[in-house]
A and B are shown apart, each in its own frame.
Chain A
Amino acid sequence: MNRTLLTALLGASLCATVMAQHSDFAIKSDFEERYRQISGRLDSASTTEEIDSLKGEIGKLESEYAPHQQFLDRALYPLTFGESITKLRSLQVLTYDRVYLIRTQGVKLSEIEARITSLTTRLDSLTSQRDQLFGELQESRKSLSALREAVRRLTANLTAKDRLIFAIVDSIFLPYGKDLSQVADVQKEAIGQRLERSNVLTRVYEIAADNVKFLDATQLQGRDYGNLIEQYEAFNARWAGLKQKMTEVAATGAAVPTESTGKGTAKTPLVRGGAKELRVASETAAAQAGHVDSALAEWHTKLNAGFWGGLLKEFTQAGVIVAPFNDGPSFSASIRQEVASLAASKQDPQPFVDALWKQKIDRDWREGLSRDAMLGHAEYAALDKLVSELTRDTIDTTFIAYIAGILIIIGLIWFFVFRKKKRPGEPASAA
């Protein structure tokens, strides 16, 4: 019993001596070295088994240095002991996710890469076709039918490009699901690289700029605007979605600290992998996104100006002078004012209702006007009803005239039939 106690005391004393004889600096340096080794092995790990074994190493590191936690909390600057271990565990989880994703979706990712390449090639061929079409548009100004054909083909080209670029974007984001906040930084970095490699932002900008150029170069008809407005709205909505996703991806680069000067700072692969490059890339992306926004704003302005300008021209050409308008509310007010003025005056509303509203506005411009961004379905229907009511009296008179005509014809038929029955010389009755 005494011997056991003596051994235990000796052991405790030896442990205490060994502990006491340790240099604090050596403890800190050893911890940092072990941390770096595990971090480095995580960085280069290529199998999930390897990463699983490193999870055990992290646990061992934590338990071995737990007795020095109080000291390490102060000595490891700027992170504490607990934060360093948490960071290492997060890195382990992220690396596991990355390796797992590569392993399970390796084939799928390569298929997507191939699809992106193919789509990019098609997009490039559409771009060269677009240049040719712009040339044709310039040449075919003299012939109306040729001009219409050039406009049709160019619109189809721009729509196809629009569809293709967002197909590329969808392909890039597809493997990562809808919620990017759940996607690890390493994966966001991969998305960022794919976006950059596919030159997505430049291409999106090109499409917006092409549309501006198209609107500048073309005299459009009312019926053209329905598609163009729809195309703009769809593009704008898709761009808003892409921008949101890109902001989340770019946040990975922006979150990287400027410098890591702390002696005890544990650096993740992301930090080691070029924080500066990531930040520069995210700043460039932000600048390019700003260009796209500007191009979209210009596209919107030109589309609006062309639409409302063209519509006003229809009124002028028909000899109807209405209050000028440049958007939905002012158009609505202008038409209501004109209807009120026609109703109040003795002027014949027929030319306005039939020749202008029904033959031009309702036939060519209704699709564009019914868009929510322009006038909206409900407001257009309300205006249409209001205009139609202008000619209600005329319709009633015509209706009465028709009825009267029919009655006269019936009367005449009856008269002649009746007269035949009462032909002279025929006995009026059997008596």
Chain B
Amino acid sequence: MRDKSLLKEDTDRVDGFDKVTGRAKYFAEYQIPGTTYGVLVPSTITKGKITGIDSKAAERAPGVLAVVSHLNRPVVAGYETGKDQGVPNNMMKIFYTDQISFNGQPIAMVVADTYERAVYAATLVKGTYAKEAFETDFEKNLSKAKAPKNPAQASYLRGTADAYKNAAVQIEASYTLPTETHNPMELHGILANWESADKITVYAKTQGVKATQGTIASTFKLPLTNVQVNSEFVGGGFGMALRTWPLEIAAIIAAKQVNKPVKLVITRDQMFTLAGHRPYAFQKVGLGADKDGQLTGITHEAWGHTATYEDFTENVVSMSKFMYNSANVNTTYKIVPLNVGVPIWMRGPGEATGAFALESAMDEMAHSLDMDPIAFRVKNYTEEDPEKSRPYSSKNLKEAYKMGAEKIGWSKRNNKPGTNKDGNWLVGYGMSTGVFNASRGRASAKGILKSDGTLLLQSAASDIGPGTGTGMVQIAHEVLGIPVSKITFELGDSSFPTAPSQGGSATLSTVGSAVSDVCNALKAKIAEMATQSGLSASAKFVDVLKKNNLPSVEVTMESKGGEEQKKYSMYSFSIHFVQVKVNPLTGVVKVSKIVSVGDSGRIVSPKTARSQMVGGAVGGLGMALTEETVMDHRFGRYVNNNFADYHVPVHADIPEIEVVFVNKPDPYINPMGAKGMGEIALIGFSAAVANAVFNATGKRIRTLPITPDKILA
């Protein structure tokens, strides 16, 4: 029967068993007969021209089939068209010219019959270069910042600019976030197999099989149907697999050159240079308030880096425009081109960077006003979106503040910093708000009801870990009442009905709506068939199919949002609470308790939703305390490009994480009333930690990560 309860009992992750037993197959595990192995040869200079590539020794090495570079690559049809056509987004055309724009840029790919032989031969390829002066130091190049072309990121003004400067109480502060690297467990790469001269199949690591299909098709000028992309399992993405990288194109070029399948799996250090990162960011925030704590002005300026060869932009300052009730708000966002590989969205893209600054500043203001940080936020609460002057589709933050405060034990917090102790350790409590656009895009799905009582659903969606399939089968179960165990959701195949890439917390809302619509259509179809064949309209679909002598019935349809998207501002919200303990002698910060509250509509899949929030908290803890990609600007090279020196949190860093959901359906966004939560799980978290550290020590750390040296400084 249809399950109408709001919070259902937990359904296990549908692919959990396959994942933990190794049955789940990731791109690098596929074997096609005749597969050869590609290894990239990275540039050792940061900017300049390649004057020569000596590949003789490599070519003579055992097992080597080719050394592919700009000097000898086959024709790539999309390279030869105009600047804005062919290769999408002005993506760097790999092996196209002698230009080097960043250190580690591939100058060649060695293809050999085994991986080990390719690795060795790659060390024999010697590039010679004409070096040019380069710039990698973000802070030194702030003056070269430019405004992004994207109008959505233009400067914003509501009321009077810099109104905070006239306020009774003012704070003005700068915040710095270093470059972060996604570092999913799974290394990036592709297995490329040309089936014929104009037909290709790839096994990819991608957050969007359709996007990958499109990029390959346009780069090689192939019909979409001649490009088959498979990506059933992805070993973590966090945004880095939201685009096709030049390295994947390199493997496809090499496969053409050697006329054999080529498998490319890049190394961990190449993950730092070739597969994106969260850009370095510098931000200035000015807040003004009257003596009662009413905000009168918000100024938020942000700078982030990009590459010299391609612009990357993200929404860093948007939260400041709509989160709090202030008559005057002005924001700007600029990008600084550097000789680095181009950045890419990383979980909570832009907003996580911006929320660190805004939510730290909110805490600083609450302190200046001698107000409780929650009371200060409630004082400036807004039921309407002040940026777009329209209501929120749903927002339950006041309730969420209460739920989180109670769970963390906020009443034990002392508003005066540095006064709460546990032995020699200083204890502090901090909180922060997170917010991300809750969207519903356009997606299609196919549903096949079979006479054996099962339902098969297909859509070219992805699952980078949140549990896409688990959510989808529960949505289908709710509509059709078929047991979850009899429903299969297939994804990660570009021949399935179109779905958007898995990014921006939109999959459950977008693909889920398509699944919901398809299931409702199937239900209607079965009811119609039942009546036509003399059965009751509520007859079981198995009986209806049997009566009609049909093995199955199928529906494919597209689903998208409507007018509601113009009437309402739709956001998912989170509130993060942390308790920290700080050792004043050694500077060590331990996060001792975490409570994350999600206000993201109705919870469709409780177990995977909780996991999302837990994963976001762990990522946020890394952002707050440990993660930083360090570059030596004399060389333009990263110096901590490995798992030993780039510190993602380990179990010992992670305390008990309590996840709480408001769990109230959003009446407008989609049939499920559910909003995405992948981003809000992380957004704001780092500010909660920084605010807790301030509460514990009286020390305001405005540069992440909060490592022990910064506590002692």
Chain B associates with chain A: no
Q: Which B residues are closer than 8 A to A by beta carbons?
A: none
Q: Which A residues are closer than 8 A to B by beta carbons?
A: none
